[in-house]
């Protein structure tokens, strides 16, 4: 029995695209461009195309990916000038015959399209992105009670919990470019996500990191992070809400 | 040859920042802020000199201010008028946008509440309250330009 509805036609189109790939060579420390022509269907993604290039044209092309379905956050790269997930971007929907693919900006390259995410994860870690309880015994030993949460309380932070740590926002942020130590949109969105969780009691511990020159005050609100986020996390909103909390002295609504 | 880890980050995509209103407002805000700060220092120095650093006299005032004002260029406007006109424009942009940021970030006016969203989701900078703000900033600046032009070059 087929679950496809009767009469539903799936139209498959084919087209050949030119991929201009910016590659970093760790041996020489230089960038160079490679060009590949590859045929894809309208149901395939940029990641599919890159993997096809890798298996049929150039096995040396380095790409990082894992889930191929927009969940793991490994495949973010700059496609036609905008950071996006390669596995969620279809060549047919980009509207250009030549597609440029570059590694994420604001991060150090490792090889070709693969970037070093260490500093990004370090910054994420620095905001203590986990559930903190005032009572350490309760947090680490007495794991026998449930914390109640209502639908309204969930919605206070749910939007920011969708982050898959892909780094697209970090790569798009002009302030991360200007201030190398700025925590960046992702880490601050994570700080808000945990601080706005009614089960968490760690807001004051995070303040030292959030309320600093490299924290929210490095944000000058270009909003680019929110516009490129593939998961609709809206880090700019999180940062603005954090600023509001700091300026009014009221902790995030939870 | 051995492989080594890069020490420099990948360069940014400038084009990404030159196509949105938010990004342009940020650029205007920074540039106008820097120019205004420099102007403020210059302004203080010129006026202090004109006032003879605590020993005011009609003669020094007229000589210094006359020098700064320069010759007439169009209508009633001197070179100095034009400089002041441009500075006033920067003040208008910096002020209007600054008020937008204060209202939004301090009072939270125009910030949406976090919500359970569905795809495709509209990021907060593209939601209507924030768009209204941004267009208001532009409208205020345009009205200001018209008024300032009238005062500087006609009235
Ligand atoms: S906030 Fe969005 S763009 Fe940034 S890391 Fe998370 S999912 Fe990626
Ligand atoms: S491969 Fe997992 S998000 Fe693209």
Dihedrals phi, psi of A33, to nearest 5 degrees: -105, 135
Domain membership flag for residue B82:
yes
Scored b (16 or more CB within 10 A) or e, A172-192 reads bbbbbbeeeebbbbbbbbbbb
Cis peptide before B114 (omega within 30 of 0): no
Could you identify the residue written with the tokens 């007229």? Answer: B62
Beta bridge partners, B78, equal B72
Is the Cβ pair B23, A223 closer than 8 Å?
Answer: yes
Distance from the Cα of B29 to chain A's closest Cα (Å) equals 9
Dihedrals phi, psi of B87, to nearest 5 degrees: -65, -40
Ligand 1, atom 8, lies closest to the CA of A166
Domain membership flag for residue B117:
no
Of B16, B20, B114, the CB nearest to A157: B114
Which of the residues B7, B9, B28 would you substitute to probe the A interface, choosing the one with the greatest number of A C-beta atoms within 10 Å?
Answer: B9
Domain membership flag for residue B119:
no
Domain membership flag for residue B5:
no
The boundaries of the domain holding residue B56 are: 23-112+128-154
pLDDT digits (tens, 9 = 90+) for B43-73: 998 888 888 787 777 778 888 888 887 777 7
Torsion region of B93: left, alpha or beta (phi above 0 gives left; psi -120 to 50 gives alpha) = alpha
pLDDT tier at A101 (50, 70, 90 boundaries)?
A: very high
pLDDT tier at A222 (50, 70, 90 boundaries)?
A: very high
Q: Is A167 in the pocket of ligand 1 (CB under 6 A)?
A: yes
**Domains of chain A with bracketed CATH:** 9-115 (3.10.20.30), 117-248 (1.10.1060.10)
Domain count, chain B: 1
Q: Are B106 and B58 in contact (CB under 8 A)?
A: no
Domain membership flag for residue B9:
no
Which H helix or E strand runs over A34?
strand A30-41
Distance from the Cα of A251 to chain B's closest Cα (Å) equals 13
Q: Are A217 and A184 in contact (CB under 8 A)?
A: no
Is the Cβ pair A81, B124 closer than 8 Å?
Answer: no
Please report, for the domain that includes residue B71, its CATH number.
1.20.1300
Q: How far, in Å, CA of A242 to CA of A156, rounded? A: 13
Pocket test for ligand 2, best of A48, A63, A67, A115 (most atoms within 8 A of CB): A67
Q: Are A19 and A99 in contact (CB under 8 A)?
A: yes
Q: Are B43 and B64 in contact (CB under 8 A)?
A: no
pLDDT digits (tens, 9 = 90+) for A138-197: 877 877 778 899 999 999 999 999 999 999 999 999 999 999 999 999 999 999 999 999
pTM of the entire structure? 0.90
Residues of chain A found within 8 Å of residue B120, distances taken between Cβ atoms: 232
Domain membership flag for residue B59:
yes
Domain membership flag for residue B143:
yes
Q: How far, in Å, CA of B33 to CA of B44, rounded? A: 17
Domain membership flag for residue B98:
yes
């Amino acid at each position: 029995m087929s679950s496809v509805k009767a009469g539903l036609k799936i139209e498959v189109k084919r087209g050949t695209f030119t991929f201009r790939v910016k590659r970093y060579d760790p041996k020489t420390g230089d960038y160079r461009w490679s060009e590949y022509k590859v045929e894809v269907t309208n149901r395939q993604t940029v990641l599919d195309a890159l993997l096809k290039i890798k298996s049929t044209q150039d096995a040396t092309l380095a790409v990082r990916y894992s889930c191929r379905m927009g969940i793991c956050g490994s495949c973010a790269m700059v496609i036609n000038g905008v950071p996006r997930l390669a596995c969620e971007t279809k060549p047919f929907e980009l509207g250009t015959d030549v597609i440029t693919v570059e590694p994420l900006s604001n991060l150090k390259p490792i090889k070709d399209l693969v970037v070093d995410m260490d500093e990004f994860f370090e910054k994420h870690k620095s905001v203590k992105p986990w559930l903190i309880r005032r009572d350490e015994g309760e947090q680490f030993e007495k794991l026998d009670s449930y914390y109640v949460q209502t639908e309204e309380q969930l919605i206070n932070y749910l939007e920011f919990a969708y982050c898959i740590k892909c780094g697209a926002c970090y790569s798009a942020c002009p302030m991360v470019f200007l201030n190398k130590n700025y925590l960046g949109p992702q880490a601050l969105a994570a700080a808000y996500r945990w601080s706005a969780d009614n089960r968490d009691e760690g807001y004051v511990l995070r303040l030292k990191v959030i309320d600093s020159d490299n924290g929210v005050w490095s944000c000058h609100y270009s909003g680019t992070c929110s516009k490129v986020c593939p998961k609709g996390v809206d880090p700019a909103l999180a940062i603005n809400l954090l600023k509001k909390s700091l300026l009014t002295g009221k902790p995030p609504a939870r | 040859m051995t492989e080594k880890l890069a020490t420099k980050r990948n360069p940014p995509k400038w084009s990404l920042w030159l196509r949105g209103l938010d990004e342009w407002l940020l650029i205007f805000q920074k540039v106008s802020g820097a120019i205004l700060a420099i102007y403020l220092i210059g302004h203080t120095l010129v006026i202090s000199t004109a006032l003879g650093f605590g020993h005011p006299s009609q003669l020094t005032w007229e000589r210094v201010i006359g020098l700064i004002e320069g010759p007439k260029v169009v209508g009633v406007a001197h070179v100095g008028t034009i400089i002041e006109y441009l500075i006033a424009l920067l003040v208008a942009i910096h002020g209007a946008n600054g008020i937008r940021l204060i209202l939004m970030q301090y009072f939270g006016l125009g910030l949406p509440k976090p919500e359970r969203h569905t795809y495709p989701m509209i990021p907060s900078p593209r939601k209507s309250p924030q768009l209204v703000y941004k267009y208001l900033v532009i409208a205020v600046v345009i009205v200001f330009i018209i008024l300032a032009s009238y005062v500087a070059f006609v009235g």
